[in-house]
């Protein structure tokens, strides 16, 4: 078995590119050989920090036959363009979520990579957290019984910490604001646990942060199996907080950032604490990408799955704008028109 690391290049050198590059440094599966962004200063700084070559252009990276993959953290609006260029050059892509800003772009990315025979793996690291994996195993073992409902919260304090010129905090670059930027992590987890979402009802508001995008949102998700879940996402809270509770007919699970995971079965007088070790979710998804490039694995979150995940959020954005429940199929169908 070939034990040489997969040589990759980092494209789009914002703060998240450093987070992923740090994770690459924690695994022998990958090696960052080159990097590119339009800013020469950022290229040089990244290259020096991670001991790689600063390329003069993206085309230079794509022409390098020793580079097999691209770690893409470019703005959502250019995902289609940059992935299409990579696929045309035979390069595999690890793309940070969301797959794009529009479902139409997500579907196009899926088609392009399938036609080129290149891997497209989308980074959704929160689904890999050990407490959610434990809940999923219990559900798959049928110990929850029929799934009834769930409630989730993903909150961060961004007051005084945002750059309103950044694409991440502007409606044009991140439509739906907090829904698309962080809410999508937990809609993904909810779908992993309770199954696909059929319909979304949402409200959103801008209460604290400057700019032109919602900083709080609430989504009611109706799943195909009849279960109903509720998600609150916020950039306007006083502190960071994460919570997700899942209720089944025979058992329930309760997770929060400070209290950890607890489990309650029908008839139990009190919940039982479930010890869950901390997992390096970023390393796990990057190692999976390396295995996919080698042909020994398939992406847990493929282009198609990531596009379906995006459609849930886009249904929420439309629901909040139009004041009505929106079918996820409506979003998918309109993208296919």
Residues 203-235 pLDDT 10s: 999 999 888 999 999 999 999 999 999 999 999
pLDDT the model gives residue 1: 45
Q: Residues near 329 by Cβ (< 8 Å), separated by ≥ 6?
A: 198
Beta bridge partners of 253: 246, 263
Ranges of residues in the chain with a pLDDT under 70 are 1-2, 337
**Of 325, 323, 277, 331, which Cα lies nearest the Cα of 307?**
331
Q: Residues near 145 by Cβ (< 8 Å), separated by ≥ 6?
A: 248, 249, 250, 251, 266
pLDDT the model gives residue 165: 84
Q: How far apart are CA 212 and CA 173, in angstroms?
A: 11
CA dihedral 314, 231, 129, 261 (to 10 degrees): -170
Q: How far apart are CA 259 and CA 208, in angstroms?
A: 27
Backbone phi, psi, residue 109, to 5°: -60, -45
CA distances from 147 to 34, 91, 105, 259, 265 (A): 47, 41, 33, 23, 13
> What are the start and end residues of each CATH 3.40.50.720 domain in the chain?
6-125+283-302
130-278: what fold? Dihydrodipicolinate Reductase; domain 2 (3.30.360)
106 within 8 A of 310, measured Cβ to Cβ: yes
Backbone phi, psi, residue 177, to 5°: 55, -125
How many Cβ atoms from other residues are within 10 Å of residue 333's Cβ?
A: 12
pLDDT the model gives residue 159: 82
pLDDT the model gives residue 2: 59
pLDDT the model gives residue 209: 86
> What are the start and end residues of each CATH 3.30.360.10 domain in the chain?
130-278
For the domain covering 6-125+283-302, report its CATH number: 3.40.50.720
């Amino acid at each position: 078995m070939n034990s040489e690391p997969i040589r990759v290049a980092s494209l789009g050198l914002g703060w998240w590119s450093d987070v992923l590059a740090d994770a690459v440094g924690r695994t022998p599966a990958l090696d960052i050989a080159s990097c590119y962004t339009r800013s020469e200063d950022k290229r040089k700084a990244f290259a020096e920090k991670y001991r790689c070559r600063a390329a003069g252009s993206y085309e230079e990276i794509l022409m390098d036959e020793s580079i097999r993959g691209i770690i893409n953290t470019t703005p959502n609006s250019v995902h289609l363009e940059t992935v299409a260029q990579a696929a045309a050059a035979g390069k595999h892509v690890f793309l940070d979520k969301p797959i794009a800003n529009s479902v139409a772009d997500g579907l196009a990315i899926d088609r392009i990579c399938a036609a080129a025979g290149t891997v497209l793996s989308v980074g959704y690291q929160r689904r890999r957290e050990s407490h959610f994996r434990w809940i999923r195993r219990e559900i798959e073992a049928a110990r929850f019984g029929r799934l009834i409902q769930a409630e989730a919260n993903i909150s961060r304090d961004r007051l005084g910490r945002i750059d309103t010129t950044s694409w991440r905090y502007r409606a044009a670059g991140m439509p739906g604001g907090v829904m698309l930027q962080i809410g999508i992590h937990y809609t993904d987890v909810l779908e992993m646990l309770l199954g696909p979402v059929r319909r979304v009802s949402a409200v959103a508001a801008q209460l604290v942060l400057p700019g032109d995008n919602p900083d709080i949102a609430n989504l009611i998700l109706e799943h195909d199996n009849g279960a109903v879940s509720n998600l609150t996402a916020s950039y306007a809270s006083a502190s960071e907080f994460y919570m997700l509770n899942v209720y089944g007919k025979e058992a329930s699970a309760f997770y929060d950032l400070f209290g950890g995971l607890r489990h309650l079965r029908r008839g139990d007088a009190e919940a039982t604490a479930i010890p869950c070790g901390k997992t390096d979710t970023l390393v796990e998804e990057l190692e999976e990408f390396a295995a996919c490039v080698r042909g020994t694995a398939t992406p847990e979150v493929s282009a198609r799955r990531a596009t379906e995940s995006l459609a849930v959020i886009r249904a929420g954005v439309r629901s909040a704008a139009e004041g009505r429940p929106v079918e996820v199929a409506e979003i998918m169908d309109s993208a296919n028109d």
